[in-house]
Chains A and B, each alone.
Chain A
Amino acid sequence: DAKTTQPNSMESNEEEPVHLPCNHSTISGTDYIHWYRQLPSQGPEYVIHGLTSNVNNRMASLAIAEDRKSSTLILHRATLRDAAVYYCILRYAGNMLTFGGGTRLMVKP
């Protein structure tokens, strides 16, 4: 499986935007980029996914580089409830998810 690289941790101030980077230089043409997050003591939850074009939903935005070798998850206004581990995952079609270590996001009030 193609792998992703994310920073171990990031900090943000409440109400400010957060940009969470992900590198996936070995991505194949059929891999979708998925983001999940895991709040403390909970199972992972879906955030967003994309293939080539940037995507927006009510939770976040996903910006995908033109060569698809990197992407950025954007939280437009971080809240304390956004403190979680964010996982960037490459997924082929409907296959299962393969998680890496993720980025632990800490949000300061």
Chain B
Amino acid sequence: DTGVSQDPRHKITKRGQNVTFRCDPISEHNRLYWYRQTLGQGPEFLTYFQNEAQLEKSRLLSNRFSAERPKGSFSTLEIQRTEQGDSAMYLCASSQRTGAVRNTIYFGEGSWLTVV
């Protein structure tokens, strides 16, 4: 399978614990995005990388959230001191940077987080 891969698919954690999600984009895609989606809502943009550079961050990305893409390939999203409001699906997506609108964004299946 050469699609966007996310791990783990499901995570249950206690409030106050740290969690980390990993995303492996489609090979040779140099743009990587993170979104968050709560039940009944559309995905909300969190941040995106072009290669290893984090180019944009949403105001939703509080200081408890950190995302990295150290070698321009896979990315991690860490949430520190989780709160119940962090319960959501975290989606990763990737695309090529061609400057053209045809650079379709491909999404992974998401990582579900439940904070209890």
Residues of A in contact with B (beta carbons under 8 Å apart): 32, 41-46, 49, 51, 85, 87, 91, 93-94, 96-102
Number of interface residues of B (CB under 8 A): 27
Q: Mark B48-66, 1 if CB is under 8 A from A, else 0.
A: 1000000010000000000
Most chain A CB inside 10 Å of its own CB: which residue of B33, B43, B91, B108: B43
A99 and B101 within 8 A (CB): no
A44-B107 contact given A87-B42, A91-B101, CB 8 Å threshold:
yes
B43 and A32 within 8 A (CB): no
Residues of B near A43 (CB, < 8 A) are 4, 91, 93, 107-110
A94-B97 contact given A42-B109, A46-B105, CB 8 Å threshold:
yes
State the main secondary structure of chain A at its contact with B.
loop
Residues of B in contact with A (beta carbons under 8 Å apart): 4, 31, 33, 35, 41-45, 48, 56, 91, 93, 95, 97-101, 103-110
A96-B108 contact given A43-B91, A43-B93, A101-B41, CB 8 Å threshold:
no
Contact of B43 among A44, A45, A91 (CB under 8 A): A44
B42 and A96 within 8 A (CB): no
